């Protein structure tokens, strides 16, 4: 391998032609010091192999679509600098616990179903007006400051071994977002929400491994959300 080249070692899978996934190596030049993994993938797709499949959209760590497993960790390809990886080889796999559709693209339907399951919208209940402005004080808004930053990239979902153990387990993304709505003063469905995460596949299955927290590209705290949900269940239901 030439030192002036970066090696991309990418897990490839084409369901029409491959029986199982395999790694393929590509070498690309050091185009710039601040080259991101996503730009490297685009270089490969545009100049070396236009059949390479991956997802991306915003290229600014906002949409969450470019999450993948890069050099041993789930990250966003668009804000991961190749120069920070401490290796001249970039090894990439798709997200885990979901079926590979092609190369780095997985079927995210089960992930979105978990999101839908937690009712990701405000439920005003009977004591709050259904229409019109519902004012929050700066302190009340502060309660959800970090929680609303989740970009639904599925890094936490893929890094969680409990999620791998059962397809119905809701997982860290669903719990963090449930905590987001539970903490919002414009929502008034505490009982209904806690019942959703208090079942067989809810928060009590979490083994507090903290993988979710470690990989979150937005530095959010799904483990803290799970702890809060458990506390709320004990206070309100048990």
User: How many residues at the interface with ligand FES, by CB under 6 A?
Assistant: 12
SS3 assignment, position 78: helix
Whole-angstrom Cα distance, residue 171 to residue 109? Answer: 14
Query: What is the Cα gyration radius of the chain?
Result: 20
Containing 117, the helix (H) or strand (E) segment is helix 109-117
According to the binding rule CB under 6 A, does residue 221 interact with ligand FES?
no
Backbone angles phi, psi at 11, to 5 degrees: -75, 120
Residue 59 within binding range of ligand FES, rule CB under 6 A: yes
Decide: is 58 part of the binding site for ligand FES (CB under 6 A).
yes
Do the beta carbons of residue 212 and residue 147 sit within 8 Å? no
Stretch that binds ligand FES, among 25-33, 62-70, 99-107, 165-173 (CB under 6 A): 62-70
- Other C-beta atoms closer than 10 Å to the C-beta of 34 total 10
Give the 3-state secondary structure of 181-195: HHCCCCCCCHHHHHH
Please say which residue, 74 or 169, places its beta carbon nearer to ligand FES.
74
Contact between residue 42 and residue 32 where contact means Cβ atoms under 8 Å apart: no
Near ligand FES by CB under 6 A: residue from 28, 52, 70, 76: 76
- The neighbouring-strand residues paired with 108 are none
Q: How far is the CB of 151 from ligand FES (least distance, A)?
A: 6
41, 65, 158, 213: which one binds ligand FES (CB under 6 A):
65
Determine the interface stretch with ligand FES among 4-12, 51-59, 117-125, 157-165 (rule: CB under 6 A). 51-59
Exactly one of 68, 78, 160, 197 binds ligand FES (CB under 6 A); that residue is: 78
Closer CB to ligand FES, residue 38 or residue 144?
38
Q: Point out which residues bind ligand FES (CB under 6 A).
A: 56-59, 61-66, 76, 78
């Amino acid at each position: 391998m030439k030192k002036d080249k970066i090696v991309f070692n990418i897990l490839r899978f084409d369901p029409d032609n491959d029986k199982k996934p395999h790694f393929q190596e590509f070498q690309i030049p050091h185009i710039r010091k601040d080259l991101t993994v996503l730009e490297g993938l685009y270089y490969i797709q545009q100049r070396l192999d236009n059949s390479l499949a991956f997802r991306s959209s915003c290229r600014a760590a906002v949409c969450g679509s470019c999450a993948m497993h890069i050099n041993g960790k789930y990250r966003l390809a668009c804000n991961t600098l190749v120069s920070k990886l401490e290796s001249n080889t970039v090894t990439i796999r798709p997200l885990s616990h979901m079926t590979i559709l092609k190369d780095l693209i997985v079927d995210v339907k089960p992930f979105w179903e978990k999101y839908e399951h937690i009712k990701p919208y405000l439920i005003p209940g009977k004591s709050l007006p259904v229409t019109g402005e519902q004012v929050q004080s700066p302190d009340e808004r502060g309660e959800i400051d970090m929680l609303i930053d989740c970009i639904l990239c599925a890094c936490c979902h893929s890094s969680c071994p409990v999620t791998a153990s059962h397809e119905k387990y809701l997982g860290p993304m669903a719990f963090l977002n449930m905590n987001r709505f539970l903490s919002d003063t414009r929502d008034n469905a505490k009982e209904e929400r806690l019942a959703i995460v208090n079942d067989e596949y809810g928060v009590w299955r979490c083994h507090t491994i903290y993988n979710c927290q470690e990989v979150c590209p937005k530095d959010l705290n799904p483990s803290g959300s799970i702890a809060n949900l458990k506390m709320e269940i004990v206070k309100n239901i048990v």
